[in-house]
Each structure stands twice: as structure tokens, then as C-alpha cells.
Amino acid sequence: MISDIQSEILRLKKEKKVTILAHSYQAEEITEIADFVGDSFQLSVMAQKDENPVCIMCGVHFMAETVKILSPHKKVILAHPQAGCPMAEQIEPEFVEYFKKQNPEYTVVAYINTTAALKTVCDVCVTSSSAIKICRNIPNKNILFLPDCNLGAWVAKNLPEKNIKLLQGGCPIHAAVNPSEVDEAKALHPNALVLVHPECVPSVLEKADFIGSTSEIMDFAKKSNAKEFIIGTEISIAEHLAYACPDKRFYALSKKLLCPNMKLTSLPDVLNALKGEGGLEIEMDEQTIQKASKCINAMIELGK
């Protein structure tokens, strides 16, 4: 039974001094046993503060890498070895090195959904909740924003004073939603507010009542006086909100909003990782940690 596995996980993690971090796209039964649940930015800050020697990440590969970069002395295990984010693999470090040589006047901003190798050649990271603030705080006017052109276009729209260059990357899950789906959802639920993640295409964002990261969407819905919401991000967010706010109604904007990578992790994966019988331990050489940490620490500093 689910509750038996959960009890065993809770017992073992206490006994072995293991911290379990879960991204908010994880299923309810996973978030229930996690020490901390949050968006990418919150997870990276938590990882830095946490004192346990071992951390299990229920999320995708770049999130576990971020924990390792920020806490290199820790043993960091990705609960499901195959859980990756396709967006993270879209750009090679060699491209950024070439771009920098040709365009030394640009600051290169990497979305946190990138590999550790890419972070070693970028100047600063951002997450969806910190992207506007961090790009505003970068002294340079010229910014190359990668890889997500939708998030980047949203940042550029909010910061007209900056010259932001974009590439053709992005999240295949969020980018698949189209504006007619917003119209259809609104027609079905005319009193609902539309809350969307900035990884969606600009024509979807234009129709939203609120745009924000996963945590910002959840906070907005919890605090709002409205009773119905159309949720334009991964389907788990609508599910978590339905548990958290039983007096409100939540509708997924599209059936396409299901990230198969985020859904790979199961409770037995977490249990096996705790027992040392599963998961993927993140290994990284010192040079990568040192260079990539500059990029992530710059994000934490500029985001304060």
C-alpha cells in the first residue's frame, strides 16, 4: 500500500539523515514524503541551506545537478535515473563559447533548466520566478537569453530597456499549448481566472490573467478571492491546488500539460534510492562544480 511505502521512506530518511527534495510537478504521494517542495529557485536555495549529508532529488536531472553544484560535499541522488528535461539538452557549451567570442558585449543568461556543462560557460542563471528581477539587475543592457525563447520573450516584454537576444529553444510540453485551447477553456469555465507558466508561447500568455512560476501560480490561486482557475502549467499543479483548496475548482488548461519526465519518479524509486539500491548518484568534477557554481551563485545574489 502507498501509506506503507511512505512510512518506510519516512523512517529510513530520518535514520539515514537524508533530505528529500521534490519539485512541485511531482505527484501528490511524492510531495507528501518530501522535506521540501517548491519551484526550481526555491529548491536550489533549500539545497544550499540544508545540512544533511545526503539528498534525494525527486525531479529531473538538472535539478539534482544544481544541488550537487551548490553542495559538492553532499551525496546527491536523482530518484529516477532516466528523469531528464529535454530543454536542458538543447544547447551545447561550444555554441556559447563561439557566441561569446563573436559578441563579447553580451551577458549570457542561462535558464536553470540547462546542464551543468552549459552553466560553466554562461554568466548567470535564472529561474522562471527570478528571471525578470535578475535580468533587470544585470548591469549590461545586452543579454543573450537561452534556451527558452518563450520565457525569454516574456522577460524582454517586461524589460524594454534591455536588448535581449533569443534562441529557438523551449519546453516541448508548455510550448505545445495553443491560444485556441485558452479560448475553449474560458468558454467552458467563464468565471475562471487563467494562470499560466511563462514557458507557454506569447499568444497564450497574452490571454492569461496571471503569469508566474509554479510556486507563484500556487500562491496566487491560494490567496485569490476567485473560486475557479484554469491552470496553464504541468497538470500536477492543478492537482496539488485541488487538495490544498477544497473550496475552489481547478481545471487543467490542456491535456498536453503532462511532463513524462517529471512523472517517472515513483515511491518505490525513492525507497530504493534511500536503501542505496537505485537512483543515480550525481558525479561531477571539481572544475565543472567551480565554474557552474559561479553562474548559480550569481543568480542567488542578483535574486536577493
Q: Which does 214 bind (CB under 5 to 8 A by kind): ligand 13P, ligand SF4, none?
A: ligand 13P
State in angstroms the smallest separation of the CB of 198 from ligand 13P. Answer: 8
Strands, sheet with 54-58, edge to edge from the N-terminal-most edge strand: 36-38, 18-23, 54-58, 75-78, 280-281
At residue 229, φ and ψ (nearest 5 deg) are -140, 140
- Cα distance between residue 214 and residue 12, in whole Å: 29
- Nearer Cβ to ligand SF4, position 19 or 128? 128
- Bridge-based pairing of strands 193-196 and 228-232 is parallel
Report which secondary-structure segment, H or E, holds 78.
Answer: strand 75-78
For ligand 13P, what does the binding mask look like between residues 57 and 96, x meaning CB under 6 A? ----------------------------------------
Residue nearest to ligand 13P (CB): 39
Q: Which of 18, 20, 21, 39 binds ligand 13P (CB under 6 A)?
A: 39
| Secondary structure percentages of the chain, helix, strand, coil, to 5 | 45, 20, 40
Q: Which does 213 bind (CB under 5 to 8 A by kind): ligand SF4, ligand 13P, none?
A: ligand 13P
- Nearer Cβ to ligand SF4, position 113 or 288? 113
State in angstroms the smallest separation of the CB of 286 from ligand SF4. Answer: 27
- Tell me: does residue 236 bind ligand 13P (CB under 6 A): no
Contact 48, 300 (CB under 8 A): yes
H helix runs in 40-164, sequence order: 40-49, 61-70, 93-102, 116-119, 131-137, 149-158
Q: Which of 90, 214, 265, 288 binds ligand 13P (CB under 6 A)?
A: 214
Contact 173, 254 (CB under 8 A): no
Total residues interacting with ligand 13P, rule: CB under 6 A: 9
- Tell me: does residue 113 bind ligand 13P (CB under 6 A): yes
- Nearer Cβ to ligand 13P, position 19 or 128? 128
Contact 67, 47 (CB under 8 A): yes
Q: 103 by DSSP, 3-state: which?
A: coil
State in angstroms the smallest separation of the CB of 183 from ligand 13P. Answer: 23
- Nearer Cβ to ligand 13P, position 106 or 130? 130
Chain residues in the site for ligand 13P (CB under 6 A): 39-40, 113, 127-128, 171, 199, 213-214
